[in-house]
Amino acid sequence: MAKVTFITSDNEEITLESDSGSVMELAVEHGIEGIDGDCGGVCSCATCHVHVAPEHQSKVGAASEIEQDMLELDDNANEFSRLCCQIEITDEIDGVILRVAG
């Protein structure tokens, strides 16, 4: 079980809890504004872009090569960027804070 906090572009903080699936699925399931997941979670559309809080980067790990490349579609990408369809929900990410970039 992990708690994940999303901060939307309106600075709304929403904390959700889950024990499986991807972070994108969790966000879509709860209608988090700015996380669309148009491709269904196969790293093809870059519509689930988040910035990981710097202190939590080690919890979620680094983007894969394909994910890093896809992130370049978004001008808003930086060193803290991840596509959250590629972040699996596990105990390790408990407490993570993600700012919606899209």
| Contacts with another protein, residue ranges (CB under 8 A) | 21, 25, 28-31, 36, 38-40, 42-45, 65-67, 69-70, 72-73
CB of 32 to another protein, least distance (A): 10
Phi, psi of 37 (to 5 degrees): 60, 45
Distance between CA 31 and CA 1 in Å, rounded?
20
Closest CA to 84 of 54, 53, 46: 46
CB of 76 to another protein, least distance (A): 14
CB of 29 or CB of 58, closer to another protein? 29
CB of 34 or CB of 61, closer to another protein? 34
DSSP letters of 63-83?
A: PPHHHHHHHTTSTT--TTEEE
CB of 55 to another protein, least distance (A): 28
CB of 53 or CB of 68, closer to another protein? 68
Distance between CA 54 and CA 37 in Å, rounded?
23
